[in-house]
Amino acid sequence: MTERIAACHCGEINLTVRGNPEHVSMCHCLHCQRRTGSAFSVQGYFSKSQVTIKGSPKRYSRKGDSGRGVDFHFCPNCGSTSYWDVEPWPDKMGIPLGTFADPSFVQSPNVSIFVTHCHPWVVIPEGPRTEGHSKKFNEDAERALAELRKG
């Protein structure tokens, strides 16, 4: 089984990740833009059982635009986001793809969310997309994920 290391900028927080993500999403929401300092975020969702965490991250919690809670775990030394937990999926965690620093990580995003906030120059990859507003967002996201899980 493929084993990868996801690390923060300074290396204090290390995640050993076994196997591939269940899905990879690209998020254009304004929170992700502020958090990353970039135009969008890209993350893999893994089962918690696939991941071993080394180090002591700090936590920042907020409500997502979807109205659901998200707990972000970040390095207190360098500030990189290492991973997060989302309320509706207690057994899953999101890991920013960039923390693998592995351009050979070939799985491209297969879900795009909050595309209403997409910068006009960004090319959205193929796959389901949601505009990303409250109830409609939740319904669209659940439908998109159900499709993906079916394979």
Q: Which is nearer to Zn ion, 10 or 122 (CB)?
A: 10
Dihedral sign computed on CA atoms, order 142, 144, 147, 149: negative
Cα distance between residue 76 and residue 143, in whole Å: 36
Nearest approach in angstroms of CB 40 to Zn ion is 8
| Residue recorded with tokens 């360098």 | 78
Q: Which is nearer to Zn ion, 10 or 101 (CB)?
A: 10
Nearest approach in angstroms of CB 149 to Zn ion is 21
Nearest approach in angstroms of CB 151 to Zn ion is 25
Dihedral sign computed on CA atoms, order 42, 45, 51, 54: positive
Nearest approach in angstroms of CB 61 to Zn ion is 15
Q: Which is nearer to Zn ion, 12 or 22 (CB)?
A: 12
Q: Which is nearer to Zn ion, 56 or 108 (CB)?
A: 56
How does 114-134 read in b/e, with b if 16+ C-beta sit within 10 Å?
bbebbeeeeeeeebbbbebee
Sites of contact with Zn ion (CB under 5 A):
8, 10, 12, 27, 29, 32, 75, 77-78
Which backbone phi and psi does 46 adopt, to 5 degrees? -120, 160
